[in-house]
Structure 1
Amino acid sequence: MAPASLAGLFGALGLTALASASVTKRGLDNSSKDHDILDFVDPLIGTSNGGHSFAGATLPFGMAKAVADTLGENQAGFAYDTQYVSGFSHMHDSGTGGSPSLGNFPLFVHPSCPSDDLDQCTWQQSARASAWSSPQARPGYFSISLANGVLAEMTVTNRSALYRFTFGNVTSEKLSPIVLVDLMDLPQSRTNGTASVDPSTGRLTGNGTFSPSFGIGTYDLHFCVDFRGAQVRDTGVWQNNRAGTNQTDLVLTYDGSNSASTLSGGTFTRFNAPTANDTLMARVGVSFISVNQACSNAENEQPEFDFPGTVQTAENAWRDKLSAISVDAEGTSDDLQKVFWSGIYRAMISPQDYTGENPLWQSDEPYYDSYYCIWDSYRGVHQLLTLADPLSESLMIRSLIDIYRHEGYLPDCRMSLCKGYTQGGSNADVLLAEALLKNVSDIDWATAYEAVVKDAEVEPSNWNVEGRGGLESWKTLNFIPTDDYDPYGVGLHTRSISRTVEYAYDDYCIAEMARILGHESDNEKYTQRAKNWQNMFRDDQQSTISGVDTGFTGFLQPRYPNGTWGYQDPIFCSPLLNFDSCYLNANGHETYEGSAWLYSFYVPQDMASLITRLGGRETFVSRLTYLHNSGLLYVGDEQAFLTVHQFHYAGRPGLSTKQAHAYIPSQFNTSVSGIPGNDDGGAMGAFAALSMMGLFPVHGQDVYLINPPFFKEVSILNKATGKTAIVRNTNFDPTYQSIYIQNATRDGHPWTKNWIGHDFFREGGVLELVLGPEESAWGAREEDVPPSMSG
Structure 2
Amino acid sequence: MRKSFIILSLFIAQIIYSQNYSQHVNPFIGTGGHGHTFPGAIVPFGMVQLSPDTRVDGSWDGCSGYHYSDSVIYGFSHTHLNGTGVSDYGDIMLMPTMGNPSLNNKDYSSKFSHKNEKATAGFYAVKLDKNNIDVRLTTTKRVGYHEYIFNNVGNANIILDLNHRDKLLEGEVRVIDDKTIEVFRRSEAWATNQYIYARIEFSKPMKISKIETNGKQENNLYTGTKLALAFSTAVKKGEKIYVKVSLSPTGYEGAAKNMLAEGKSNDFETIKEQAKRDWDKELSKIEVKSEDKNKLSIFYTAMYHVFTQPNINMDVDGKYRGRDNKFYTTKNFDYYSVFSLWDTFRGAHPLMTLIDRKRTSDFINTFIRQYEQGGKLPVWELASNETECMIGYHSVSVIADAMAKGITGFNYEKAFEASKNSAMLDIFGLNAYKQNNYTSIDDEHESVSKTLEYAYDDWCIAQMAKNLNKKEDYQYFMKRSQNWKNLYNPKNGFMQARKNGNWYEPFEPREVNNNYTEGNSWHYSYFVPQDIPGLIQAHGGKEKFEQFIDAIFAAPNTTTGREQVDITGLIGQYAQGNEPSHHIAYLYNFVDKPQKTEEKIKYILDNFYKNTPDGLIGNEDCGQMSAWYILSSIGIYSVTPGKPEWETVTPYFDEIKIHLEDGTTKTITKNTSKEELKRLGFENIKPVKDFKYTEQTASPVITADRLFEFSTKVEITPLNEKDKVYYMTMDENDKNVRKTFTTYKGPFTINKTTQVSAYTERDGEKSSITSANYNRRPNHWDIIVNSTVNPQYTAGGKLALIDGINGVENWRKGEWQGYQGQTFEAILDFKSPQKIKNLSSTYLQDSRAWILMPKKVEYYASMNGKDFILLKTIDNTIDPKDEKVQVKDFTADILPTEARYIKVKAHHFGKLPEWHQGAGGDSYLFVDEISIK
TM range (shorter): 0.7 to 0.9
Return the alpha-carbon distance in structure 2 between the equivalents of residues 674 and 271 of structure 1. Answer: 42
1:372-398, Cα deviation, whole Å (9 max, x unpaired): 420011111111111121111111111
Residue in structure 2 matched with residue 178 of structure 1 by the alignment: 157
Change (3 A) 1:569 1:40: farther
Return the alpha-carbon distance in structure 2 between the equivalents of residues 504 and 74 of structure 1. Answer: 34
Secondary structure in structure 2 of the residue aligned to 1:358: strand
Q: CA deviation at 1:135?
A: 2.0
Q: What amino acid is the match of 2:224?
A: L
Change (3 A) 1:196 1:383: same
Secondary structure in structure 1 of the residue aligned to 2:464: helix
Return the alpha-carbon distance in structure 2 between the equivalents of residues 762 and 322 of structure 1. Answer: 26
Contact 1:197 1:235 in 2 (8 A): no
Q: CA deviation at 1:252?
A: 1.5
Return the alpha-carbon distance in structure 2 between the equivalents of residues 362 and 648 of structure 1. Answer: 47
Residue in structure 1 matched with residue 551 of structure 2 by the alignment: 626
Secondary structure in structure 1 of the residue aligned to 2:582: helix
1:124-163, Cα deviation, whole Å (9 max, x unpaired): 2233210112221111111111112111111111111000
Change (3 A) 1:563 1:509: same
The aligned runs of 1:165-314 (5 Å cut-off) are 165-168=148-151, 170=152, 174-186=153-165, 188-198=166-176, 200-213=177-190, 215=191, 217-228=192-203, 230-232=204-206, 234-239=207-212, 248-253=220-225, 263=226, 265-273=227-235, 277-314=238-275
Change (3 A) 1:203 1:682: same
Residue in structure 2 matched with residue 470 of structure 1 by the alignment: 429
**Residue 46 (structure 2) aligned to one of 29, 53, 62:** 62
Return the alpha-carbon distance in structure 1 between the equivalents of residues 233 and 11 of structure 2. Answer: 39
Q: CA deviation at 1:640?
A: 0.9
**Residue 614 (structure 2) aligned to one of 659, 667, 673:** 673
Change (3 A) 1:718 1:568: farther
Q: CA deviation at 1:179?
A: 0.8
Note if 1:569 corresponds to 2:496: no
Return the alpha-carbon distance in structure 1 between the equivalents of residues 76 and 93 of structure 2. Answer: 5
Return the alpha-carbon distance in structure 1 between the equivalents of residues 255 and 84 of structure 2. Answer: 26
Contact 1:197 1:236 in 2 (8 A): no
**Residue 31 (structure 2) aligned to one of 29, 37, 47:** 47
Q: What amino acid is the match of 1:693?
A: I
Return the alpha-carbon distance in structure 2 between the equivalents of residues 80 and 150 of structure 1. Answer: 20
Change (3 A) 1:207 1:151: same
Change (3 A) 1:568 1:251: farther
Note if 1:155 corresponds to 2:122: no
Contact 2:169 2:187 in 1 (8 A): yes
Contact 1:197 1:204 in 2 (8 A): yes
The aligned runs of 1:368-383 (5 Å cut-off) are 368-383=335-350
Root-mean-square deviation over aligned CA pairs: 2.6
Q: What amino acid is the match of 1:508?
A: W
The aligned runs of 1:104-143 (5 Å cut-off) are 104-110=91-97, 112-113=98-99, 118=100, 121-133=101-113, 134-143=116-125
The aligned runs of 1:394-433 (5 Å cut-off) are 394-433=361-400
Return the alpha-carbon distance in structure 2 between the equivalents of residues 17 and 128 of structure 1. Answer: 50
Q: CA deviation at 1:568?
A: 5.9
**Residue 519 (structure 2) aligned to one of 594, 608, 617:** 594
Contact 2:636 2:677 in 1 (8 A): no
1:284-327, Cα deviation, whole Å (9 max, x unpaired): 11112222332332233121322111111111111111222112
Change (3 A) 1:167 1:752: closer
**Residue 82 (structure 2) aligned to one of 91, 94, 114:** 94
Contact 1:236 1:247 in 2 (8 A): no
Q: What amino acid is the match of 1:141?
A: F
Secondary structure in structure 1 of the residue aligned to 2:148: strand
Mark the structure with the bigger radius of gyration.
2
Change (3 A) 1:457 1:30: closer
Q: CA deviation at 1:272?
A: 2.1
Return the alpha-carbon distance in structure 2 between the equivalents of residues 185 and 21 of structure 1. Answer: 42
Contact 2:103 2:228 in 1 (8 A): no
Q: TM-score, normalised by structure 2?
A: 0.66
Q: CA deviation at 1:755?
A: 3.7
Return the alpha-carbon distance in structure 1 between the equivalents of residues 376 and 532 of structure 2. Answer: 30
Note if 1:558 corresponds to 2:497: yes
Return the alpha-carbon distance in structure 1 between the equivalents of residues 369 and 508 of structure 2. Answer: 40
Change (3 A) 1:572 1:86: same
Q: CA deviation at 1:757?
A: 5.6
Contact 1:358 1:417 in 2 (8 A): no
Q: CA deviation at 1:19?
A: 10
Return the alpha-carbon distance in structure 1 between the equivalents of residues 167 and 506 of structure 2. Answer: 37
Contact 1:425 1:503 in 2 (8 A): yes
1:319-371, Cα deviation, whole Å (9 max, x unpaired): 11122211233xx4111111111111100111111133523332434454433
Q: CA deviation at 1:74?
A: 3.0
Return the alpha-carbon distance in structure 1 between the equivalents of residues 589 and 319 of structure 2. Answer: 45
Change (3 A) 1:164 1:495: same
Change (3 A) 1:30 1:314: closer
Q: CA deviation at 1:495?
A: 0.8
Q: What amino acid is the match of 2:463?
A: E
1:29-58, Cα deviation, whole Å (9 max, x unpaired): 6677xxx21111111100012211131111
Q: What amino acid is the match of 2:656?
A: V
Change (3 A) 1:20 1:438: closer
> How many residue pairs get matched?
645
Q: CA deviation at 1:762?
A: 8.1
Residue in structure 1 matched with residue 302 of structure 2 by the alignment: 343
Identity of aligned residues (%): 25
1:663-710, Cα deviation, whole Å (9 max, x unpaired): 113111111011112100011111111110101122232220111111
Contact 1:704 1:758 in 2 (8 A): no
Change (3 A) 1:508 1:139: same
Higher relative contact order (CA 8 A, sep 6+): 1
Return the alpha-carbon distance in structure 2 between the equivalents of residues 623 and 54 of structure 1. Answer: 38
Contact 2:265 2:271 in 1 (8 A): no
Q: What amino acid is the match of 1:151?
A: D
Contact 2:319 2:329 in 1 (8 A): no
Residue in structure 1 matched with residue 311 of structure 2 by the alignment: 352
Change (3 A) 1:446 1:30: closer
Q: CA deviation at 1:752?
A: 6.2
Return the alpha-carbon distance in structure 1 between the equivalents of residues 506 and 382 of structure 2. Answer: 33
